């Protein structure tokens, strides 16, 4: 694989714009190459001169090719890189191309100007991110201080501050502070060795080989790693006052460790007087308690359960912080490699030796010389292993490092492709067989047969809605991956457990085969003259199918994507318990999809009535004759919108953002429209129809505007892309306009259910099913652009890691406020 493709593949999708624009620089080099090819003179004399020069090179007669000093003179004549200081923004690099007067030199000037822009962009971004993680490390140190003090208090309830102060090592493990040297300590190798007395012969050889342009990016990273180890050796000597440590083992030692307790330091347990437990209202009980309390934080109780909860939260905080550090380290490595590769291409195309000079500038920049991230990685590993894995390094690193392990039951590409194709073919064949079977018996032409078909279609329509929704989800996953939308991060899937489009398509096609096979068997047994005695048994087929699906969903065994099933169950439970759970994107995203499955939810109510009240034995559907059923017919239609309204209310109370209040108002108007429309469906009448039309039009207009303007972020008048938005992931802009038009048209399909066409029950049922399927398709289209907009919001704010709340809140002893 070429580096350009690998470079794009390895990018952190939320940081894409912060990476070096490798392809843009390659295009400029392509212009240089085309210009040189057009100007190259293919004369016999020049060919002889090149042949003579080649012979001189191999014979040793060319002094410039063998004299390193002469190479340095040539490089100095090609480019001159100036390091400019800017207030508040650090170093700024500007390269002067010294051969601008040559023919075609303007293109190379453009190349180095663009190269400087990319270096400054990457360098500034990396520096800002390092400053952020250093601030997070300082906060994490304070959290660890409180955790250690709480651990002492819980394990030794009778311990007092004076005894700990006299003998700290006997009562408390020292806290490994996440301290790292400042950027000033990375000024150079000579300053590191001053006064240390470390044998630097090996490192000098590496530095010399690096300066001569030898070695690839991996060797340069190794050089920087050795430099960092020598810095750790120096800091260890300064901290302990003891002998030096060998560079090989210094990475495994407590590099830069500062003892947390000294005789001059304050009492360790005094920290507990300034902290409270951060009650994040993550459960229904904590939410209810928080409603009746003035402060969301609670006092320490000093029990083992509290210590366990704090430890679990800190483990999660450390894991996310470690992943962020790994992303930064990978970002630095990939960009340094990209600069090295692009300069090698420049040398190859122009035959100018300028790579060594520019790469040396890159290595001396903050991106190449800063060791804060590497040092923090080591400190996090040491602290996590010591305090959260009982000094077991293997277990500690297993928790810290990302797990790329896929589930055991995941399918390969070919097995998924073959199975999906087989199931799809079977589904089409079964669907044709069902249509031919119904046409052969002509039961739909008879009144009794038509009523029976209405019942059976309503029962099996639940699975049709489910299969169609899964197919739309599989299509969304496919296009999300094509557009590099980081849907596993947005949804919060555990790494290695997210389903691909092949797996989802395999499940949906497999379910469709099962449903159509049972449906065909049901029709055959019901309509056959020899199977009249089995009609009561065949009525139980839909109920048996629902039971099988529920058993698979709630199966506790590690089969059929257990982690995904449990994630779905958890999200459903959070939606049902709204607003008692903190609202996350998977919860309200799923609740939005439930609003498009009203008919499927009503089918569940029909199952309860049809089988619970014994209607199936009489092969009749008289559920609407029961008052309780009609009441729940209203309630079931309102439940999904009501859940979204409660979620908006919870988000408004937490974030104090007015947009959530407007969103809640939108769902309240939709609830009114659904109630009036359901009343018209049951009671009929001109008055109800007019009210239903007016309320439905108002709700449809507001929902359509919200979909396009807020959820998709489109229709921006002052955007770079007319009436779209500044950033687009789909290259063809017409796709967005088509999607907006389709959204309006499919929203109008929701309106036509209000109109009374005086159709028979079978045709009315068919229109209802088709309209519900169109709504599911509209929701699938909405899902793609909704998640695209969410991904672009993350990209705009460079959010590549989850924000995990800390377990402790610090308070000032005097003002009793948050620190």
CA distance 25 to 408: 43
pLDDT given at position 159: 59
- CA-CA distances (angstroms) from residue 233 to 194, 207, 226, 255? 12, 18, 11, 7
Residue 689 token pair? 């129809």
Q: How confident is residue 50, by pLDDT bands cut at 50, 70 and 90?
A: low
> Distance (Å, rounded) from C-alpha 796 to C-alpha 783?
20
The pLDDT value given to residue 749:
80
Identify the DSSP state of 804: P
CB neighbours (10 Å) of residue 399? 16
- Quick one: what percent of the chain has pLDDT higher than 90? 35
Are the C-beta atoms of residues 90 and 67 closer than 8 Å to each other?
no
| Number of neighbouring beta carbons within 10 Å of residue 348 | 12
| Range in 181-185, 440-444, 611-615, 628-632 the model is least confident about | 181-185
Alpha-carbon span 230 to 473, nearest angstrom: 53
* CA–CA distance, 113 with 366 (Å, rounded to integer): 19
Report the distance separating Cα 639 and Cα 594, nearest Å. Answer: 9
Beta-carbon contacts of 280 under 8 Å, excluding residues fewer than 6 positions away, are 286, 582, 805
Count CB neighbours of 419 within 10 A.
16
Point out the least confidently predicted range of 11-20, 187-196, 316-325: 187-196
pLDDT value at residue 593:
96
Q: Which of 391-400, 427-436, 563-572 has the highest mean pLDDT?
A: 563-572
Which helix (H) or strand (E) segment holds residue 83: the answer is: strand 79-86
What are residue 441's phi and psi, to 5 degrees?
-85, -25
pLDDT category, 121, cuts 50, 70, 90? very high
Give pLDDT, residue 671.
Answer: 95
The pLDDT score that the predictor gives to residue 478 is 95
If you count them, how many residues does the chain have? Answer: 819
Q: Residue 815's pLDDT band (boundaries 50, 70, 90)?
A: very low
Mean pLDDT of the chain: 78
Q: Stretch 728-741: mean pLDDT, rounded?
A: 94
pLDDT surpasses 70 at 541: yes
Residue 196's pLDDT band (cuts 50, 70, 90): very low
- On the question of pLDDT at 109 being above 80, the answer is yes
Q: Are 277 and 299 in contact (CB under 8 A)?
A: yes
pLDDT for res 264: 41
The answer to whether 247 touches 229, Cβ cutoff 8 Å, is yes
pLDDT band for position 454 (cuts 50, 70, 90): confident
Helices 217-240 & 201-211 angle (0-180, nearest 10): 150
Q: What pLDDT score was predicted for residue 240? A: 42
Q: Which two tokens stand for residue 594?
A: 């439930």
pLDDT band at 251 (very low <50, low <70, confident <90, very high): very low
Distance between CA atoms of residues 682 and 466, nearest Å: 26
Identify the pLDDT of residue 277. Answer: 82
- Do 150 and 268 meet the contact criterion of CB atoms below 8 Å apart? no
Angle value at C-alpha 553, between 552 and 559, nearest 5 degrees: 60
Q: Which two tokens stand for residue 312?
A: 């679990």
pLDDT at 89: 58
pLDDT(612) > 60: yes
Res 781 pLDDT > 60: yes
245-253: long-range contacts (C-beta < 8 A, 24 or more apart)? 247/198, 251/378
Supply 596's token pair: 């498009």
For position 71, what pLDDT does the model report?
42
Are the beta carbons of 269 and 152 closer than 8 angstroms? yes
**Which is nearest to 503 in space by CA: 466, 533, 478, 532?**
478
pLDDT the model gives residue 724:
93
Predicted confidence (pLDDT) at residue 88 exceeds the cutoff of 90: no
pLDDT at 524 over 60: yes
Which range is most confident: 60-69, 758-767, 797-806?
A: 797-806
| Mean pLDDT score, 725-745 | 93
pLDDT on residue 766: 83
What's the CA gap between 267 and 163, in Å, rounded?
10
Mean pLDDT of 99-119: 82
3-state secondary structure of 621: coil
When pLDDT is cut at 50, 70 and 90, the band that residue 192 belongs to is very low
Among the ranges given (101-110, 284-293, 393-402, 494-503), the one the predictor scored with the smallest mean pLDDT: 284-293
Give the residue among 176, 142, 137, 380 at the shortest CA–CA distance from 259.
Answer: 176
**Does the CA dihedral 325-328-334-339 come out positive or negative?**
negative
pLDDT of residue 170 exceeding 60: no
pLDDT, position 190? 34
Q: Say what percent of the chain tops pLDDT 70.
A: 70
Range from 38-47, 305-314, 665-674 that averages highest in pLDDT: 665-674
pLDDT at 206 over 70: no
Cα distance between residue 516 and residue 461, in whole Å = 11
Counting beta carbons within 10 angstroms of the beta carbon of residue 168, is it exposed (0 to 12), middle (13 to 18) or buried (19 or more)? buried
Greatest alpha-carbon pair distance for the chain in Å reads 106
> Which residues fall within 8 angstroms of residue 390, CB to CB, at 6 or more apart?
none
Calculate mean pLDDT across residues 238-249. Answer: 41
CA distance 608 to 251: 65
For the beta carbon of residue 185, count every other beta carbon within 10 angstroms.
Answer: 16
pTM, two decimal places: 0.79
Over range 425-454, report the average pLDDT. 77
pLDDT of residue 36: 80
Retrieve residue 721's tokens.
């892309």
Comparison of pLDDT for 802 and 168, the residue scoring more: 802
For residue 808, what is the enclosing H or E element? strand 808-810
Coil, strand or helix: which one is 23? helix
Residue 43 · residue 318 · CB < 8 Å? no
Inter-residue contact 553 to 564 (CB < 8 Å): no
């Amino acid at each position: 694989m070429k580096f350009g493709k690998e470079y794009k593949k390895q990018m952190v999708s939320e940081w894409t714009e912060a990476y070096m624009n490798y392809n843009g620089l390659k295009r400029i080099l392509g212009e240089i190459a085309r210009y040189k090819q057009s100007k190259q003179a293919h004369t016999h004399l020049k060919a002889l001169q090149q042949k003579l020069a080649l012979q001189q090179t191999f014979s040793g007669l060319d002094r410039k090719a063998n004299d390193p000093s002469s190479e340095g003179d040539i490089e100095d004549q090609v480019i001159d890189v100036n390091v400019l200081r800017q207030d508040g923004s650090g170093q700024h690099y500007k390269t002067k191309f010294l051969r601008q007067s040559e023919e075609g030199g303007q293109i190379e000037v453009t190349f180095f100007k663009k190269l400087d822009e990319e270096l400054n962009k990457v360098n500034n971004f990396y520096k800002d991110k390092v400053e952020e993680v250093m601030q997070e490390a300082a906060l994490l140190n304070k959290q660890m201080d409180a955790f250690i003090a709480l651990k002492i208090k819980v394990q030794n309830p009778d311990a007092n501050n004076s005894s700990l102060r006299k003998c700290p090592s006997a009562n408390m493990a020292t806290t490994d502070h996440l301290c790292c040297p400042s950027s000033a300590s990375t000024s150079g190798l000579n300053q590191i060795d001053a006064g240390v007395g470390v044998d630097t012969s090996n490192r000098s050889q590496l530095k010399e080989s690096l300066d001569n342009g030898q070695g690839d990016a991996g060797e340069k990273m190794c050089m920087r790693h050795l430099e960092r180890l020598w810095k750790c050796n120096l800091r260890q000597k300064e901290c302990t006052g003891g002998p030096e440590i060998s560079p090989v083992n210094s990475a495994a030692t407590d590099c830069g460790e500062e003892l947390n307790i000294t005789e001059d330091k304050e009492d360790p347990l005094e920290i507990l007087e300034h902290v409270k437990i951060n009650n994040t209202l993550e459960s229904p009980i904590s939410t209810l308690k928080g409603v009746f309390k003035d402060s969301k934080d609670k006092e320490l109780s000093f029990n083992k359960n509290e210590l366990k909860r704090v430890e679990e939260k800190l483990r999660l905080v450390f894991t996310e912080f470690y992943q962020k550090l790994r992303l930064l380290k990978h970002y630095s490595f990939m960009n340094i490699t990209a600069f090295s590769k692009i300069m090698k291409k420049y040398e190859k195309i122009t035959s100018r030796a300028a790579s060594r000079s520019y790469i040396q500038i890159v290595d001396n920049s903050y991106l190449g010389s800063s060791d804060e991230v590497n040092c923090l990685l080591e400190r996090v590993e040491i602290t996590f292993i010591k305090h959260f894995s009982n000094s077991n390094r293997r277990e500690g690193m297993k928790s810290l490092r990302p797990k790329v392990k896929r589930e055991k039951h995941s399918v390969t590409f070919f097995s998924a492709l073959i199975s999906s194709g087989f199931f799809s073919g079977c589904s089409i064949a079964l669907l044709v067989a069902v249509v031919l079977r119904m046409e052969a018996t002509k039961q739909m032409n008879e009144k009794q047969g038509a009523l029976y078909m209405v019942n059976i279609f309503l029962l099996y329509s639940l699975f049709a809605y489910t299969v169609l929704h899964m197919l739309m989800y599989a299509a969304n996953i496919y296009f999300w991956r094509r557009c590099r939308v980081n849907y596993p991060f947005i949804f919060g899937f555990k790494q290695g457990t997210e389903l691909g489009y092949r797996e989802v398509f395999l499940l949906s096609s497999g379910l469709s085969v099962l449903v159509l096979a049972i449906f065909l068997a049901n029709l055959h047994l019901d309509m056959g003259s020899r199977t009249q005695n089995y009609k009561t048994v065949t009525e139980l087929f839909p109920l048996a199918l629902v039971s099988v699906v529920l058993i698979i969903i709630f199966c506790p065994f590690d089969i059929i994507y257990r982690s995904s099933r449990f994630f779905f169950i958890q999200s459903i439970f959070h939606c049902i318990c709204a607003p008692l759970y903190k609202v996350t994107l998977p919860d309200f995203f799923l609740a939005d999809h439930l609003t498009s499955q009203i008919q499927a939810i009503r089918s569940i109510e029909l199952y309860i009535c049809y089988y619970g009240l014994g209607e199936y034995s009489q092969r009749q559907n008289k559920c609407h004759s029961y008052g309780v059923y009609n009441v729940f017919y209203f309630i079931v239609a309102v439940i999904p919108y009501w859940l979204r309204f409660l979620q908006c209310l919870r988000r408004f109370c937490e974030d104090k953002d007015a947009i959530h209040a407007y969103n809640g108002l939108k769902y309240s108007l939709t609830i009114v429209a659904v109630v009036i429309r359901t009343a018209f469906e049951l009671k009929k009448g001109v008055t109800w129809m007019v009210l239903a039309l007016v309320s439905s039009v108002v709700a449809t207009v507001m929902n359509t505007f919200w979909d396009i303007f807020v959820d998709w972020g489109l229709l921006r008048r002052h955007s770079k892309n007319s009436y779209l938005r500044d950033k687009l992931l789909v290259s063809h802009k017409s796709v967005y306009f088509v999607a907006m038009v389709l959204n309006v048209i499919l929203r109008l399909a929701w309106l036509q259910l209000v109109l009374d066409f005086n159709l028979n029950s079978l045709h009315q049922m068919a229109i209802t099913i088709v309209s519900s399927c169109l709504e599911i398709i509209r929701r699938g289209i909405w899902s793609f652009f909704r998640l695209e907009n969410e991904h672009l919001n993350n990209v705009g704010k460079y959010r590549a890691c989850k924000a995990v709340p800390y377990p402790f809140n610090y308070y000032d002893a005097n003002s009793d406020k948050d620190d």
